[in-house]
Structure 1
Amino acid sequence: MHNYIINASIQIVPIVQDKHPYEWVDEAIAIIQESGVKHEVGPFATVLEGTYDEVMKVINDVNEYLYSRGCNEWISNVQVQIRSGGNITGDEKTEKFK
């Protein structure tokens, strides 16, 4: 894949009863924060911005973390926007609304 900037969002929906789902979500967000990839936490999903490889690594790391910590079941809702000829940034898409 190219090295242009892409956007992605990830939403983790834990299907668990061992602890409050927000605790699993908070742990997933901590993995994202530690990644160094540009991100913005929202009420429903976290938006990531970086190269394809960087963003996909973060998404993989979140899922691997949940698995390794024993989260019984979760849904990862992921959206990815890729522009083949250049960068696509969140600011580009939302600037007119600020």
Structure 2
Amino acid sequence: MHDFIINASIQIVPIVQDRHPYEWVDEAIAIIQQSGIIYEVGPFSTVLEGRYDEVMRVIGDVNEHLYRKGCAEWISNLQIQIRSEGDITGSEKTKKFS
């Protein structure tokens, strides 16, 4: 894939009863925070911004973490926006609302 900046959102929906689902979500967000990638936590999902490979690696790291820590089941809802000929940034898409 190209080396342009992309946007993605990830929403983790734990299907668990062993502990409160927010605890699993908090762990997922910690993985994103530790990645060094640009991110923004929202009430329904976390938006990621970075090079394609970086963003996809973080998404994979979140899912791998949940698996390794024993989360019984979860849904990863993803949205990914890719522009073939250049960067696509969150600020570009939202600057008219600032």
The question of a shared fold, defined as TM-score above 0.5 by the shorter chain, is answered with yes
1:79 counterpart SS class: strand
Q: Percent identity?
A: 78
1:80 counterpart SS class: strand
- Residue 91 of structure 2 aligns with which residue? 91
Aligned residue pairs, count: 98
2:76 counterpart SS class: strand
- Residue 43 of structure 2 aligns with which residue? 43
Give every structure 1 segment of 4 or more consecutive aligned residues whose post-TM-superposition deviation is greater than 6 Å. none
Which runs of 5 or more residues in structure 1 are unaligned? none
> How far does residue 75 in structure 1 lie from its aligned partner after superposition?
0.1
State the distance in 1 between where 2:13 and 2:93 align. Answer: 26
1:77 matches 2:92: no
State the distance in 2 between where 1:54 and 1:14 align. Answer: 24
- Residue 31 of structure 1 aligns with which residue? 31
Q: TM-score, normalised by structure 2?
A: 0.99
State the distance in 1 between where 2:2 and 2:12 align. Answer: 27
2:43 counterpart SS class: coil
Q: TM-score, normalised by structure 1?
A: 0.99
RMSD: 0.3
2:67 counterpart SS class: helix
Q: Residues 46-66 of structure 1: CA distance to partner in whole angstroms, max 9, x if unpaired?
A: 000000000000000000000
> How far does residue 81 in structure 1 lie from its aligned partner after superposition?
0.2
2:2 counterpart SS class: coil
State the distance in 2 between where 1:51 and 1:8 align. Answer: 11
